[in-house]
Amino acid sequence: MDEVAGRKELEAHWVRVCDRLRKEIGDKAFKTWFGEVELGKLETGKLRLYAPTRFVRDWVARHYGDRVLAYWQAVNNGVSSVEVNLVPPPAPRRANDIIAMPPLPSSPQGYASSMPRLGPAIGRGSDEAFQGSEARYTFANFVVGKPNEFAYAAARNIAEQDRPLPERNPLYIFGGVGLGKTHLMHAIWHAIRERDPKTRVLYLTAESFVNRFIQALRTKSTGQFKELFRNVDVLMVDDVQFICGKEASQDEFFFTFNSLVEQNKQIVLSSEKPPSELQDIEERMRSRLGSGLVADIHSSTYELRLSILQAKAETARIPVPLSVLEFLAHKISTNIRELEGALNRVIAHGQLIGREITVEMAQDVLHDLLRQADRKVTVDEIQQRVAAHYNIKLAEMSSPRRARSVARPRQVAMYLAKQLTTLSLPQIGKRFGNRDHTTVMHAVRKIEELKVSDLSIAEDVELLKRQLQG
Ligand code: ADP
Ligand code: MG
**210-228 burial: b if 16+ Cβ within 10 Å, else e:** bbbbbbbeeeebeebbbeb
DSSP 454-470: -HHHHHHHHHHHHHHH-
User: Identity (one letter) of the amino acid at 250?
Assistant: Q
Q: What pLDDT sits at residue 92?
A: 35
Spatial CA neighbour of 37 closest among 45, 29, 356, 317: 29
Q: What pLDDT sits at residue 375?
A: 67
| Contact yes or no for 14/74 (Cβ under 8 A) | no
Spatial distance between the Cα atoms of 406 and 364, rounded to a whole number of angstroms? 42
Burial-class residue 308 by CB neighbours within 10 Å (0-12, 13-18, 19+): buried
To test ligand 1's pocket by mutation, which of 185, 336, 338, 343 has the most ligand atoms within 8 angstroms of CB?
A: 336
Q: What pLDDT sits at residue 358?
A: 93
Tell whether domain 302-374 is in CATH 1.10.8.60. yes
- Domain residue extents for the chain: 3-86, 127-297, 302-374, 379-469
Domain 3-86 superfamily per CATH: DnaA, N-terminal domain (3.30.300.180)
What predicted TM-score, i.e. pTM, was given to this entire model?
0.61
| Contact yes or no for 57/46 (Cβ under 8 A) | no
In angstroms, what is the span from residue 182 Cα to ligand 1's centroid?
A: 7
Ligand 1 atom 4: residue of nearest CA: 178
| Contact yes or no for 242/210 (Cβ under 8 A) | yes
In angstroms, what is the span from residue 240 Cα to ligand 2's centroid?
A: 10
Spatial CA neighbour of 397 closest among 384, 385, 410: 410
Spatial distance between the Cα atoms of 156 and 273, rounded to a whole number of angstroms? 21
| Contact yes or no for 234/199 (Cβ under 8 A) | yes
Q: What pLDDT sits at residue 379?
A: 94
Q: What pLDDT sits at residue 30?
A: 83
CA torsion 92-98-102-103 (nearest 10°) is -30
Task: Estimate the share of the chain in helix, then strand, then coil, as percent rounded to the nearest 5.
Answer: 60, 10, 30
Spatial CA neighbour of 134 closest among 177, 90, 199: 90
Ligand 1: lining residues by beta carbon, under 6 Å: 137, 141-143, 148, 175, 177-183, 308, 336-337, 340
Q: What pLDDT sits at residue 111?
A: 29
Give the phi and the psi of residue 326 in degrees, each rounded to 5: -65, -40
Number of residues that make up the chain: 470
Q: What pLDDT sits at residue 96?
A: 54
| Contact yes or no for 460/389 (Cβ under 8 A) | yes
Interstrand relation of 46-51 and 38-43 (parallel, antiparallel or unpaired): antiparallel
Spatial distance between the Cα atoms of 459 and 304, rounded to a whole number of angstroms? 36
Q: CA distances (Å), 385 to each of 7, 322, 382, 389, in order?
A: 51, 41, 5, 6
Q: What pLDDT sits at residue 114?
A: 32
| Ligand 1: nearest atom to the Cα of 179 | 3
Is the backbone of residue 433 left (phi > 0), alpha (psi -120 to 50) or beta? left
| Ligand 1: nearest atom to the Cα of 311 | 25
| Contact yes or no for 304/146 (Cβ under 8 A) | yes
pLDDT per residue rounded down to tens, the chain (470 residues): 566 778 888 988 998 999 888 888 887 778 878 888 889 899 889 999 988 777 778 888 888 888 899 899 989 989 988 998 887 654 333 345 666 655 433 333 322 223 333 333 322 222 222 235 677 899 999 999 999 999 999 999 999 988 888 889 999 999 999 999 999 999 999 899 889 888 888 999 999 899 999 999 999 998 989 988 888 999 999 999 999 888 889 999 999 999 999 999 999 999 999 999 888 888 888 999 999 999 999 989 999 999 999 999 998 888 899 999 999 998 888 789 999 999 999 999 998 888 889 999 999 999 878 876 666 789 999 999 999 999 999 999 999 999 999 999 999 999 999 988 878 899 999 999 999 999 999 999 999 999 888 888 988 998 898 888 76
CATH number of 127-297: 3.40.50.300
Spatial CA neighbour of 119 closest among 210, 227, 212: 212
Ligand 1 atom 9: residue of nearest CA: 180
In angstroms, what is the span from residue 184 Cα to ligand 2's centroid?
A: 9
**255-273 burial: b if 16+ Cβ within 10 Å, else e:** ebbeebbeeebbbbbbbbe
Spatial CA neighbour of 119 closest among 4, 216, 7: 216
As a three-state string, the secondary structure of 271-309 is ECCCHHHCCCCCHHHHHHHCCCEEEEECCCCHHHHHHHH
Choose the CATH number for 379-469 among 1.10.10.10, 1.10.1750.10, 3.20.20.105, 3.40.50.410.
1.10.1750.10
Residues within 5 A (CB) of ion ligand 2? 181-182
To test ligand 1's pocket by mutation, which of 149, 183, 306, 308 has the most ligand atoms within 8 angstroms of CB?
A: 183
